[in-house]
Amino acid sequence: MTDADRFLRACRREPVDVTPIWLMRQAGRYMAEYRALRARHSLLDVIRTPELACEITLQPINAFNLDAAILFADILPILIGMGLNLEFVEGEGPVITNPISSPADVDALIVPPIEENLPFTLEAIRLVRRELDGKIPLIGFSGAPFTLASYAIEGGGSKNHIKVKRFMHSQPDAWDRLMDKLAQTVGDYLVAQVKAGAQVLQVFDTWAGVLSPCDYREKALPYVQRVIERAKSTGVPVIYFGADLNGLLPLVRETGADVIGVDWRIEIDHAWDQLGPNVAVQGNLDPTLLFAPWDQLQRNVDNVLARTTGRPGHIFNLGHGVLPETPVDHIRRLVDYVHERSDNSGGS
C-alpha cells in the first residue's frame, strides 16, 4: 500500500496502514500563503482562475502530510449560471441580490450546461491532478440541494431560516421544481468533476441540520439521494457532510453515501452505531481544540482514535472546517500525530 491508497481504501472500508487524515477548509485563511494570495485577489477571482485555485489547493498539501487534497472552490458559484447574482461581501459572507421569493422565480431558473457554468473549476481540477501526480487523491465537491436552496431563498446566510422553510411549506410544488433543478445541476456538476479528474466527491449539506426529521425526510433527503446516486454512478466514493445532523442520523444513513462526515457534538462511535456498519465515517475533532494546549488536543485525538479502533473505514477530520485563526503549528502536529498514533504496523 502506498500513501496514495490510504484515503481511498478507508472510503471503501478496506484495511489501511494508518488512519488517513484531511481537514475541511484545509486551504484557507489560517495559512500565511493563503492570506498573501487573497490580499491580491478576491474570492470569486481566485475561484474563477484555475491557476490560482490550483495554487491554493496545493498550499496545505505542500505544508502538511495530508492524505487527500480538496479542490479550492465554493458551493455557491454554481448558482450564478442558474440566474442568481452572487457577491461575497468581505467580513459579511455571501449575498444573493435577487433571491428566490416566488414560484415564478423558480421557473425562471436555468439548468445550464455545467461546462459553460463552471469551466474554471473543471480546469482547476485538471491542473491539480497534474500537479499532484498520483501522490494523494483529489476530492471534488458540491453543496447539496437543500443548502443551495436555503442560500437562494434567504439571499445569504440565515439564523432561523424562516424564509426557506416558509417557501418549502407554503409552495410545495414550486419547492419540488426548485429542488429538481438544483439536483439536476448539482448532479451534472459532480459527474463533470469526476470526468475532469476528481477521485472522491463530497456533498456539503451545511444547513440541513436546521430541518426537523419530517421536513428532512420529505423535502431534502430525496434530492440528496438522487444527487448521490448520480455521483456514485461514476464509480468514485461519495462523502456526505452536514453539521447539526446528530438527531437525524437514522435518516442520514439513507442518503446512500459511502462515507458520512460527523460533527464534534457526538461521540463518533455513538454516531457510527446509528449509521450502521455499512458506511465509512469521517470526523470528528472539535475545530476549536486546535486553540487548546497540545496535551488537551492530544487527549481528544486519542479519544476519537480509541472510539474508532477496530472499525474499518475511519477517516480522521475535524467536525467542521478549520477556523481562520487556527495556529498553523497545531495543524502540522495534528496531522503527524494521527498518523503516528494510529500506526499499528509494529514496524520500525
- What is the binding site for a copy of itself (CB under 8 A)? 160-162, 165-166, 169-170, 209-215, 244, 246-248, 250, 263-267, 270-271, 286-289, 291-293, 296, 300, 303, 319, 323, 325
Q: Pairing between strand 93-96 and 138-143?
A: unpaired
Whether 151 sits among the annotated catalytic residues: the reply is yes
d(CA 241, CA 257): 10
Query: 28 or 237: whose CB is closer to a copy of itself?
Result: 28
Least Å distance between CB 46 and a copy of itself? Answer: 23
Least Å distance between CB 253 and a copy of itself? Answer: 13
Query: 135 or 299: whose CB is closer to a copy of itself?
Result: 299
**H/E stretch holding 77:** none
In terms of Cα–Cα distance, which of 135, 200, 197, 140 is closest to 5? 135
Specify burial of residue 79 (Cβ count, 10 A radius: 0-12, 13-18, 19+): buried
Least Å distance between CB 32 and a copy of itself? Answer: 19
d(CA 259, CA 132): 23
d(CA 273, CA 348): 34
Least Å distance between CB 209 and a copy of itself? Answer: 6
Terminal-to-terminal C-alpha distance of the chain = 17
Least Å distance between CB 59 and a copy of itself? Answer: 22
Residue 167 main-chain phi, psi, to 5 deg: -60, -45
Whether 265 sits among the annotated catalytic residues: the reply is no
Whether 29 sits among the annotated catalytic residues: the reply is yes
**Per annotation, catalytic residue among 3, 17, 29, 217:** 29
DSSP class per residue in 13-55: T---SS--B--TT-SSTTSHHHHHHHTTS-HHHHHH-HHHHHH
Query: 174 or 192: whose CB is closer to a copy of itself?
Result: 174
Query: 137 or 319: whose CB is closer to a copy of itself?
Result: 319
**Per annotation, catalytic residue among 151, 189, 223, 337:** 151
Q: Check if the beta carbon of residue 211 is closer than 8 Å to that of residue 245.
A: no
d(CA 216, CA 279): 20
Query: 94 or 197: whose CB is closer to a copy of itself?
Result: 94
Least Å distance between CB 199 and a copy of itself? Answer: 30
Query: 180 or 244: whose CB is closer to a copy of itself?
Result: 244
Name, in order, each residue with C-beta under 8 angstroms of 215's C-beta and a sequence gap of 6 or more: 165, 168
**Per annotation, catalytic residue among 74, 180, 244, 286:** 74
Q: Which residues are designated catalytic?
A: 25, 29, 38, 74, 151
